[in-house]
Amino acid sequence: MKNPIYLDYQATTPLDERVLDAMLPYFRDKFGNAASRNHAFGWEAEKAVETARGQIAALIGADAKEIVFTSGATESNNLAIKGVAEMYREKGRHFISAPTEHKAVLDPLKRLEQEGATVTLLPVDKTGQVALADLEKAIRPDTVLVSLMAANNEIGTLHPLEAIGKLCKARGVLFHTDATQGVGKIPIDVERMGIDLLSLSGHKVYGPKGVGALYVRRRNPRVRLSPQLDGGGHERGMRSGTLNVPGIVGLGKACEIAGAELASETVRLTNLRERFLAKLRGSLDEIYLNGHPTERLPGNLNVSFAFVEGEGLMMGMSELAVSSGSACTSASLEPSYVLRAIGVGEDLAHTSIRFGLGRFTTEAEVDFAAERVIAAVKRLREMSPLYEMAKEGIDISQVKWSPTEH
């Protein structure tokens, strides 16, 4: 086993060798611009792009013409949210989302609010799911878009996409899902689930970084977007700019592989995740699973270890590459806003670790990781007077601490 062991698959995934092999010719011999329609180099590049469009569409049950290429899910989310806001301005300026969304959804919504739009963030339950009754109640005549993620990047909780889509359809509201974590990991069908806009990213599905896509529904209803990048009218006028052909080829191949292996990987990763959790629970008390116990990503495990500080725990098991929150906000010392939204107290939120398992995670790595985590938690708790007090039955929340005198 190579150290450190990578257990941060929700932050990014390693590039699959098969994806790299598909990409390499487009860096060297097949270097044409997909917009060059006058010669063989351009035709070759355009053909590769259209093949990738079909591979991505097949994974989510879409039509190839409904795939718009972007630089990644952050751009896709911005194009979906701001593009709808501008195009449907006359219909209304009310948007619905949830406080557990990725910042790439929350920040564009915040920008719209500054420009006069109204945003409703639905509460989530302790597992991180929204209640359909709350969503139904929140939809107004001027609501133009509901944006709810397929799977949460920190706690792995899945939203009931089909039920949400059905409700949005019945009320004539567009439904966008940031499916960055879900695509290739859980079955997604935009038709069955009534999804109108869907964001995805290459580097979460064993593809390259810096490339992503946005699915934009073409019929029932035809979704129209105001472009956020102008200059040449590429991608049906929705996203101008020379296409990243090698990246797009890689994203297409990654989606094709993910689709072929989804069923077997789901079983394998769920088993690995449950094995890992069982080992932790078998040797440690006062640990808490964050997120939904069953409706969650196969490879996600987010656990709070009471009486242990998360950053200290990570330093105590340096052979493991794990995260104490989302990769985009882990530089912050604030406890995770996702954990706070599901009602995890500040103390416990600071003790949480996200373990991300993926395609190249082995049983031996999981067993080794569990041993390292257990040893580190026990060592840190031995030094914790709070843990000792809790074991003696003292309710720490009732303790009145007196200031120390100098």
Of 258, 290, 325, which residue sits at a domain end?
Answer: 258
Grade residue 403 by pLDDT with cuts at 50, 70 and 90. low
Q: Within this chain, do residues 168 and 287 fall inside the same structural domain, yes or no? A: no
Instruction: Confirm whether 396 is domain-assigned.
Output: no
Instruction: Confirm whether 24 is domain-assigned.
Output: yes
pLDDT for residue 90: 95
Instruction: Confirm whether 404 is domain-assigned.
Output: no
Q: Which long-range contacts (CB under 8 A, 24 or more apart) does 161-165 make?
A: 161/188, 161/193, 161/195, 162/192, 162/193, 162/194, 163/132, 164/130, 164/132, 164/135, 164/193, 164/194, 165/193, 165/194, 165/195
Q: Within this chain, do residues 148 and 48 fall inside the same structural domain, yes or no? A: yes
Contact by Cβ (8 Å): 237, 227? yes
Of 258, 281, 303, which residue sits at a domain end?
Answer: 258
Grade residue 401 by pLDDT with cuts at 50, 70 and 90. low
- DSSP notation for 196-249: SEEEEEGGGTTS-TT-EEEEE--SSSPP----SS-SS-TGGGTS-S---HHHHH
pLDDT for residue 257: 98
Using CA atoms, how far apart are residues 87 and 80, in angstroms rounded to an integer? Answer: 10
Using CA atoms, how far apart are residues 80 and 214, in angstroms rounded to an integer? Answer: 8
Domains contained in the chain, number: 2
Grade residue 327 by pLDDT with cuts at 50, 70 and 90. very low
Instruction: Confirm whether 397 is domain-assigned.
Output: no
Instruction: Confirm whether 222 is domain-assigned.
Output: yes
Grade residue 387 by pLDDT with cuts at 50, 70 and 90. confident
Look over the chain and give the mean of its residue pLDDT values, rounded to a whole number. 94
Q: Within this chain, do residues 250 and 290 fall inside the same structural domain, yes or no? A: no
Q: Which helix (H) or strand (E) holds 119?
A: strand 118-121
DSSP 37: T
Q: Indicate which residue of 1, 267, 328, 383 is catalytic.
A: 328
Q: Within this chain, do residues 206 and 285 fall inside the same structural domain, yes or no? A: no
Of 258, 292, 309, which residue sits at a domain end?
Answer: 258
For the stretch 95-152, pLDDT in tens is: 999 999 999 999 999 999 999 999 999 999 999 999 999 999 999 999 999 999 999 9
Q: Which helix (H) or strand (E) holds 85?
A: helix 73-87
Report the share of the chain in percent with pLDDT over 70.
Answer: 95
In this prediction the pTM is: 0.94
Q: Within this chain, do residues 239 and 283 fall inside the same structural domain, yes or no? A: no
Contact by Cβ (8 Å): 240, 68? no
Rounded to an integer, the average pLDDT of 264-292 is 97
Q: Within this chain, do residues 178 and 205 fall inside the same structural domain, yes or no? A: yes
Q: Which of 80-84, 227-231, 259-263, 357-361 comes out lowest in average pLDDT?
A: 227-231
Q: For residue 292, what are the domain limits?
A: 5-9+262-389
Token match 């004539």: residue?
172
User: Which CATH number covers residue 361?
Assistant: 3.90.1150.10
For the stretch 192-209, pLDDT in tens is: 999 999 999 999 999 999
pLDDT for residue 7: 98
Does 326 score more than 50 pLDDT? no
pLDDT for residue 389: 83
Using CA atoms, how far apart are residues 75 and 273, in angstroms rounded to an integer? Answer: 31
pLDDT for residue 237: 78
User: Which CATH number covers residue 202?
Assistant: 3.40.640.10
* Cis geometry, peptide bond prior to residue 293 (ω within 30 degrees of 0): no
Using CA atoms, how far apart are residues 193 and 215, in angstroms rounded to an integer? Answer: 13
Instruction: Confirm whether 327 is domain-assigned.
Output: yes
Residues in the chain: 406
Instruction: Confirm whether 395 is domain-assigned.
Output: no
Active site residue 168: no
For the stretch 342-355, pLDDT in tens is: 999 988 999 999 99
Token digits for 174?
């567009």
